[in-house]
Amino acid sequence: MNNFNFYSPTYFVFGKERENEAGKYIKRFNGTRVLIHYGSGSVIKSGLLQRVKKSLTENGIYFTELGGVVPNPRSGLVYTGIELCKKDKIDFILAVGGGSVIDSAKAIALGAEYDGDFWDFYCGKRIEKALPVATILTLTAAGSEGSMGTVITHENGMLKRAANHDVLRPVFSILNPELTCSLPAYQTACGAIDMMAHVMERYFTNTQNVEITDRLAEGILLTIIKEAPIALANPSNYEARANLMWAGMVAHNDTCGVGRDSDWSSHQMEHELSGLYDVAHGAGLAVMFPAWMKYVMNHDIMRFAQFAVRVWGCEMNFQQPEETALQGIQRYEEFAKSLGMPIRFAELGAKAEDIPFMVKTLGLGENTMGSFVKLTEEDVKKIYELAV
Ligand code: NZQ
Ligand code: ZN
């Protein structure tokens, strides 16, 4: 196991009706002038926004609001939010929604404390500070409610890029599984695939002797495999929603990534897909992850065989572990399909002729990406081709 530091300061408030305590927790975390940030209308339709505003009013907290975040959140609204924060002396941002809303809030939080262009941080500039962000999560998927990450698409070139730093971890996150019962089946499925990908990016590692994080990762995967079909069959099943909600958090706050190298190539390749075609991140991952697995599995066939046996219940073929590994990948694809996810380019609306463009915008040049196997531009091209 590698040396590591792990800082995960988010205060989690979990359970039914907990969003009504938003005002109390903003006070506890010293917010006095709040920007409530939300998406394209689901929180208005569900009445959640109204309940949250009531809680802030009851606690005597000043707030202003900015809605309109779209999936694969854009830079334009971030610039608007930054201006609003500076003009209105906002000292706290409350994101009410899914990963896109939370990521947009984190981007505004960065820009509000910076004189330059917030996009600098998505092009590698070192992050030092940000306004505090809290979340009320309505979609279990991205893990941004506990993560140090934010992903934004710049309208100039539709470049989708990430920024990461501990100051971006939310100060508190309210997780009420009931809020996710209104999710369309497609979003529930995309969420399950994204959560699984967060675990799998960490699971396929070259670091040896990491049994604790292997087992945690397998536990999260087994939970998602069990609970996602239940939530799809019965969207109001509270216990399934609750298990998925916590799984999504631990899948990505790095609990199962510490002490080991993680990969992230599938995510990077997927970001080019969702940047270009504006598809859901989870759907893009359902297409890219199996292609990546097939391409790299021979690098450590026993790790893939372990994944097949422990996660998918395949029988170990000691003579031909490659067969076991392939079975595991196949079971993953069957599972994704059973959730209604695409597993090939065409089902996603992606085109083979755009592969050279995506390889180029990924911008590797002479460099490599990933850690399990270091991928060159040529490798990336071949992986995209495997997904066609
Ligand atoms: O905008 P509204 O009206 O709220 O509708 C949203 C949106 O259309 C809807 N929705 C959310 N909660 C709902 C609901 N509809 C009904 N009932 C509810 N309770 O769902 C749609 C998708 O929402 P979005 O926030 O885009 O989904 P998700 O949470 O999957 O976030 C995806 C974004 O997160 C990024 C992705 O790249 C993508 O841009 N990621 C962020 C990460 C991070 N910050 O750590 C890591 C991830 O790997 C990921 O890259
Ligand atoms: Zn993801």
168 and 241 in one domain? no
Please report the pLDDT score of residue 355 as a whole number.
98
Single residue among 122, 157, 179 that ends a domain in this structure: 179
Please report the pLDDT score of residue 185 as a whole number.
98
- What is the DSSP secondary-structure string of 21-86? GHHHHHHHTT--EEEEEE-SSHHHHTSHHHHHHHHHHHTT-EEEEE----SS-BHHHHHHHHHHHH
238 and 168 in one domain? no
Mutational test site, ligand 1, from 36, 166, 187, 277, max ligand atoms within 8 Å of CB:
187
Of all protein residues, whose CA lies closest to atom 29 belonging to ligand 1?
99
In a domain, 65, yes or no: yes
Structural domain total, the chain: 2
In a domain, 5, yes or no: no
CA 346–ligand 1 middle distance (angstroms): 23
Please report the pLDDT score of residue 206 as a whole number.
98
223 and 79 in one domain? no
Please report the pLDDT score of residue 301 as a whole number.
98
CA 199–ligand 2 middle distance (angstroms): 10
CA 142–ligand 1 middle distance (angstroms): 7
Q: Is the CB of 275 under 6 A from ligand 1?
A: no
Of all protein residues, whose CA lies closest to atom 26 belonging to ligand 1?
71
Helices (H), 88-233: 99-112, 185-203, 211-233
Please report the pLDDT score of residue 157 as a whole number.
87
In a domain, 4, yes or no: no
The CATH number covering residue 160 comes to 3.40.50.1970
Tokens representing 14 are 């979990």
194 and 157 in one domain? no
Tracing tokens 């989690």 back to the chain, one arrives at 12
Domain that holds residue 379: 185-387
Please report the pLDDT score of residue 227 as a whole number.
98
- C-alpha distance from residue 322 to each of 218, 287, 318, 329 (Å): 20, 21, 9, 11
In a domain, 3, yes or no: no
Please report the pLDDT score of residue 307 as a whole number.
98
Please report the pLDDT score of residue 286 as a whole number.
98
Of all protein residues, whose CA lies closest to atom 47 belonging to ligand 1?
142
Ligand with smallest separation from the Cα of 105? 1
Tokens representing 353 are 């002729």
Q: Helix, strand, or coil here: 177?
A: helix
223 and 140 in one domain? no
Query: Could you say which residues of the chain have pLDDT below 50?
Result: none
Ligand with smallest separation from the Cα of 100? 1
Single residue among 132, 157, 179 that ends a domain in this structure: 179
pLDDT digits over 345-358, tens only? 999 999 999 999 99
CA distance 328 to 326: 5
Single residue among 179, 197, 227 that ends a domain in this structure: 179
Please report the pLDDT score of residue 147 as a whole number.
98
194 and 149 in one domain? no
CA 367–ligand 1 middle distance (angstroms): 31
CA 209–ligand 1 middle distance (angstroms): 35
DSSP strand pairing (11-14 vs 172-175): parallel
CA distance 181 to 177: 7
53 and 92 in one domain? yes
Q: Is the CB of 8 under 6 A from ligand 1?
A: no
The CATH number covering residue 258 comes to 1.20.1090.10
